[in-house]
Structure 1
Amino acid sequence: ELPTDRPRPAVQSHRGAKVSRSLKAELADALADLARQEGSTLFMVLAAVFALVLGRYAGTRDVVFGTPIAGRERTELEGLIGFFINTLVLRTRLDGNPTFRELLARVRRESLDAYAHQDLPFEKLVDELSPERNTGRTPIFQVMFNLHNEPVQVADFDALDATPIGIDRGLAKFDLTVSISELQHSDEGGLFAHFEYNSDLFTAATVSEFTDYYVLLLETFVADADLRLNELPSLAVPQRIERADWTGNILTHFGTWLSRTPKAIAVSSGRSSLSYGEVNQQANRLAVRLLSLELTMDSEVPRIGLIAAPDTPLVVALVGILKAGYAWVPLDPSWPDTRLVAIARDAGLGAIVTDPLLVDKAHLLSALLLPVIELDGKVTADDPQVTIEADALACIIYTSGSTGAPKGVMQTHQGVVTQVGRYSQALGLSPADRLSGLSGFAYDAAIQDIFGALLNGARVCLYNVSGCGNMAGGRSLTENTALLTALVADSITVVHAAPSLYRYIFGGELNCSHDLSSVRLVVLGGEPVRRSDFELYRSRFAGGTRFINGLGLTESTLALQFHADMDTRLVGQSVPIGDAVAGLSVALLDDNGEPGWCGEIVLTGQGLSPGYWRQPQSTAERFGPGSVLRTGDLGRRLPDGHIVYVGRRDEQINIRGHRVEPAEIEAQLVTLAGVADCAVTVVERQGDPWLIAYVVAAVPHDQPVAAALLDALREQLPAYMVPQAIEWLAELPRHANGKVARGALPKPRFDHEAGVGPVPARSELEGKLQSIWEEVLQLETLGVHDDFFSLGGHSLLATRVIARIRDQLNIEVPLINLFEYPTIAGFAALMTHLSCRETGPDSRDKLISVSR
Structure 2
Amino acid sequence: MAEQVASALSSAEQRLWFQWQLRPDGAEYNTPLAYRLTGPLDVPALRRAVDELAARHEVLRTRYPATGGVSRHVDPPGPVPWTSTDLRRVAPAQRESRVGEVVHAAAGTPFDLTAGPVFRAVLIEVGAADHVLVLVFHHIVVDGWSLEIITRDLRDLYTGRTPEPAGRYADFIAAEQRMLAGPRPARALAFWREYLAGAPAELTLPNDRPAPPNPGHGAGAHPFTLPASVLDTVRAVVREQRVTPFLIMLSAYAVTLATTTGSRDVVIGVPAAGRSGTGTENTVGLFINMLPIRVRVGPRTTFADLVREVMASFVSAYEFEDVPFQRLVEELAPPRTGDRHPVFQTAFSYQDGGGCGLELTGLTAHRLAVPGGTAKYELTLDATWGPDHTAGSIGYRTDMVDAGVAALIAERFCHVMATLTADPGCPLGSLPMLPPDEAALLLGLGGQPPLTTEPVHTAVRRHAVERPGTLAVADGDTALTYEHLDRAATRLAGELTGAGASGPDAVVAVCLPRGAELVTAVLGVLYTGAAYLPLDPAHPVHRRRTVLDEAAPVAAVVTSAAYGPDFPDHPVLGVPPVAGNPPAVPGARTGGRAYVIFTSGSTGRPKGVAVGHAPLANLVAWYGRTVGLRPGDRTALVAAPGFDASALEIWGALAAGATLDVAPPESLLSPVELRDWLVRRNVTHTFLPTPLAERLAALRWPPDSALRTVLAGGDRLRRPTPPGPPFTLLNGYGPTESTVAATYASVDPTDERAPSIGRPLPGVRALVLDGDLRLTPVGLVGELYLGGSALAFGYVGRPGATAEKFVPDPYGPPGARLYRTGDLVRVRPDGMLHFAGRNDTQVKVRGFRIEPAEIEDALRGQPGVRDAIAVVEPGPGDDGVLTAYLVPSGAVAPDAVAPDAGVLRRRLAEVLPQYMVPARLCAVEGWPLTANGKLDRAALRRDATELAGHRDVRTLPQNPMEMLVAAVWAEVLGHDAITSDDNFFDLGGHSLQLMTIRDRLARDLGRPVPIVTLYEHPTVRALARHLGQAAPGRHEPAPTPARESEAGLRRLASLRTARGRRSER
Same-fold call, TM cutoff 0.5: yes
Q: What secondary structure is seen at the aligned counterpart in 1 of 2:772?
A: coil
Partner of 2:235: 36
How far residue 308 of structure 1 moved from its aligned partner, in angstroms, is 0.8
- Opposite residue 501 of structure 1, the aligned amino acid is L
Q: Distance in 2 between the 1:278 and 1:416 partners? A: 23
8 Å Cα contact 1:353-1:373 kept in structure 2: yes
Per-residue deviation, residues 332-364 of structure 1 (Å, max 9, x unmatched): 244333322322333334554344xxx58x538
Distance 2:359 2:946 in 1: 62
| Distance 1:506-1:617 versus aligned 2 partners, 3 A rule | same
Match of 1:251 among 446, 449, 457: 457
Aligned to 2:801: 618
Aligned 1:100-111 pairs, distance under 5 A: 106=306, 109-110=309-310
CA deviations 1:689-717 (Å, max 9, x no partner) are xxxxxxxxxxxxxxxxxxxxxxxxxxxxx
**1:408 deviation in Å?**
1.3
**Counterpart in 1 of 2:934?**
none
Instruction: Indicate the residue corresponding to 2:673 in structure 1.
Output: 482
Q: Does 1:561 align with 2:751?
A: no
Q: Partner letter of residue 228 of structure 1?
A: P
C-alpha distance in 1 between matches for 2:706 and 2:962: 49
Q: Alpha carbons of 1:166 and 1:501: their partners in 2 closer, same or farther (altered >3 Å)? A: same
| 1:367, distance to aligned residue in structure 2 (A) | 7.7
What's the counterpart of residue 281 of structure 1? Answer: 487
Query: SS at 2:318's partner residue?
Result: coil
Match of 1:473 in 2: none
How far has the Cα of 1:555 moved from its partner?
A: 1.1
| Partner Cα distance (2:291, 2:217) in 1 | 23
Summarize the Cα distance change of 1:266–1:87 in structure 2 as closer, same or farther, 3 Å threshold.
Answer: farther
Equivalent pair of 1:71/1:118 in contact (CA under 8 Å): no
Amino-acid identity (%): 25
Partner of 1:695: none
CA offsets 1:787-813 (integer angstroms, 9 cap, x no match): 79981267x768789959x9xxxxx99
CA 179–60 in structure 1, closer or farther in 2 if over 3 Å, else same: closer
TM-score (normalizing by structure 1) = 0.67
Pick from 201, 219, 225: which aligns with 1:18? Answer: 219
Q: How far apart in 2 are the matches of 1:9 and 1:338?
A: 51
Residue identity opposite 2:384 in structure 1: E
Residue in structure 2 matching 1:638, options 807, 824, 828: 828
Q: CA RMSD in A?
A: 5.5
Q: TM-score, normalised by structure 2?
A: 0.55
Q: Letter of the aligned partner of 2:598 in structure 1?
A: Y
Q: Report the Cα distance in structure 2 between the residues aligned to 1:228 and 1:726, rounded to whole angstroms.
A: 35
2:509 aligned with 1:304: yes
| 1:116 matches 2:116 | no
Per the TM alignment, residue 576 of structure 1 is displaced from its structure 2 partner at its CA by 3.8
Kindly indicate whether residue 210 of structure 2 is the aligned counterpart of residue 7 of structure 1: yes
Structure 1 residues 129 and 497 mapped into 2: Cα distance closer, same or farther (>3 Å)? farther
**CA-to-aligned-CA distance 1:493-550 (integer Å, 9 cap, x gap):** 544333322211102344545575x33xx533333334x22xx1666457xx5x6444
Q: What is the rounded CA distance, in whole Å, between the counterparts of 1:764 and 1:244 in structure 2?
A: 51
Match of 2:126 in 1: none
CA distance in 1, matches of 2:212, 2:205: 15
Secondary structure, aligned partner of 2:218:
strand
Contact 1:555 1:611 (8 Å CA) reproduced: yes
Structure 2 distance, partners of 1:147, 1:221, is 17
- C-alpha distance in 2, partners of 1:334/1:800? 58
Q: Give the distance between the partners of 2:502 and 2:921, measured in 1 at CA.
A: 61
Alignment of 1:50-69 (within 5 A): 50-51=253-254, 54=257, 58=261, 63-69=266-272
CA separation of 1:216/1:136 partners in 2, compared to 1, >3 Å: closer, same or farther? closer
Q: Please tell me whether residue 577 in structure 1 is matched to residue 577 in structure 2.
A: no
Instruction: Report the CA distance shift for 1:91/1:278 in structure 2 as closer, same or farther (over 3 A).
Output: farther
Q: 1:444 and 1:244 mapped to 2: Cα distance?
A: 20
Q: What residue number does 2:189 align with?
A: none
CA distance in 1, matches of 2:563, 2:735: 31
Answering whether residue 340 of structure 2 is matched by residue 340 of structure 1, we say no
Please say if residues 538 and 566 of structure 1, whose CA atoms lie closer than 8 Å, have aligned partners that are also in contact. no
Quote the offset at 1:619 in angstroms. 1.6
Structure 2 residues without counterparts, runs of 5 or longer: 1-203, 424-430, 809-814, 844-850, 858-868, 908-919, 924-944, 966-979, 984-1012, 1030-1038, 1046-1065
Question: Matched residues in 1 for 2:372 and 2:905: separation?
Answer: 49
Query: Counterpart in 2 of 1:506?
Result: 697
Q: Which residue, 383, 407, 411 being the options, matches 1:216?
A: 411
Task: Determine the structure 2 residue equivalent to 1:457.
Answer: 657
246 and 92 in structure 1: CA distance in 2 versus 1, 3 angstrom threshold: farther
Deviation at 1:221, TM superposition (A): 5.2
Contact 1:249-1:388 within 8 A present in 2 as well: no
Question: Partners in 2 of 1:354 and 1:801 — Cα distance?
Answer: 74
Q: Could you tell me how far apart the structure 2 residues matched to 1:770 and 1:606 are?
A: 49
Q: Which amino acid aligns with 2:652?
A: G
Q: What residue in structure 2 maps to residue 70 of structure 1?
A: 273
Give CA deviations for 1:560-585 in whole Å, capped at 9, x if unaligned.
42545759967xx4444344433343
Among 357, 363, 384, the alignment partner of 1:153 is: 357
Match of 2:856 among 665, 687, 690: 687
1:746 and 1:322 map into 2 onto residues whose CA distance is 49
Alignment-derived partner of residue 439 in structure 1: 639
Q: 1:354 to 1:28 in 2, by over 3 A?
A: same
Q: Which has the larger radius of gyration?
A: 2
Counterpart selection for 2:606 from 390, 406, 414: 406
Following TM superposition, by how much is the alpha carbon of 1:45 offset from its aligned partner in structure 2, in angstroms? 5.5
1:523 alignment partner in structure 2: 711
SS of residue matched to 2:735 = coil
Q: 1:180 aligned to 378, 382, 389, which one?
A: 382
Q: 2:637·2:646 contact (CA, 8 Å) conserved in 1?
A: yes
Say if 2:819 is the partner of 1:629. yes
In 2, Cα distance between equivalents of 1:247 and 1:136: 55
Partner of 1:791: 951
Task: Give distance in 2, aligned partners of 1:801 and 1:434.
Answer: 65
Q: Which amino acid aligns with 1:648?
A: R
CA distance in 1, matches of 2:948, 2:957: 9
Counterpart Cα distance in 1 of 2:899 and 2:715: 36
Alpha-carbon distance in 2 for matches of 1:849, 1:8: 37
Q: Which ranges of structure 1 fall in alignment gaps of 5 or more residues?
A: 471-475, 654-681, 689-722, 734-742, 752-756, 774-780, 807-811, 839-847
From 488, 505, 521, the equivalent of 1:317 is 521
| 1:687 partner SS | helix
Q: Which range is displaced more, 213-222 or 230-239?
A: 230-239
Query: For residue 696 of structure 2, what is the amino acid of its counterpart?
Result: I
Shift of 1:319: 0.6
The amino acid of 1:523's aligned partner reads: L
Q: 1:510 to 1:559 in 2, by over 3 A?
A: closer
CA displacement at 1:89 relative to structure 2 = 3.4
Inter-partner Cα distance in structure 2 for 1:284 and 1:802? 81
> 2:685 and 2:961 mapped to 1: Cα distance?
49
3-state SS in 2 of match to 1:117: helix
* Alignment check: 8 A CA contact 1:9 1:136 kept: no
CA contact (8 A) 1:57 1:638 kept: no
Pairing 1:647-666 to 2, within 5 Å after superposition: 647-650=837-840
Q: Kindly tell me the number of residue pairs found equivalent between the two proteins.
A: 700
Alpha-carbon contact 2:445-2:831 (below 8 Å) kept: no
**Offset from partner CA, 1:253-310 (integer Å, 9 cap, x none):** 332333333333333455554332222122223334444545599x93142132312x
Q: Which deviations, in whole Å up to 9, do the C-alpha atoms of 1:404-431 show, x marking residues without a partner?
A: 2212112233443344445556666554
Cα 1:798/1:594, change in 2 over 3 Å: farther
- Among residues 605, 608, 613, which one is paired with 2:791 in the alignment? 608
Letter in structure 1 aligned against 2:207: T
User: What's the CA shift for 1:763?
Assistant: 4.7
* Change over 3 Å in CA distance of 1:640–1:614 after alignment to 2: same
**CA 1:329/1:144 → structure 2, altered by over 3 Å: closer, same or farther?**
same
Letter in 2 for 1:35: V
Q: Flag the 1:764–1:306 CA change in 2: closer, same or farther, 3 A.
A: closer
Counterparts of 1:538 and 1:81, CA distance in 2: 57
The answer on whether the counterparts of 1:488 and 1:514 sit within 8 Å (CA) in structure 2 is: yes
CA deviations on 1:444-475 (whole Å, 9 max, x unpaired) are 222222222222333444434xx3xx6xxxxx
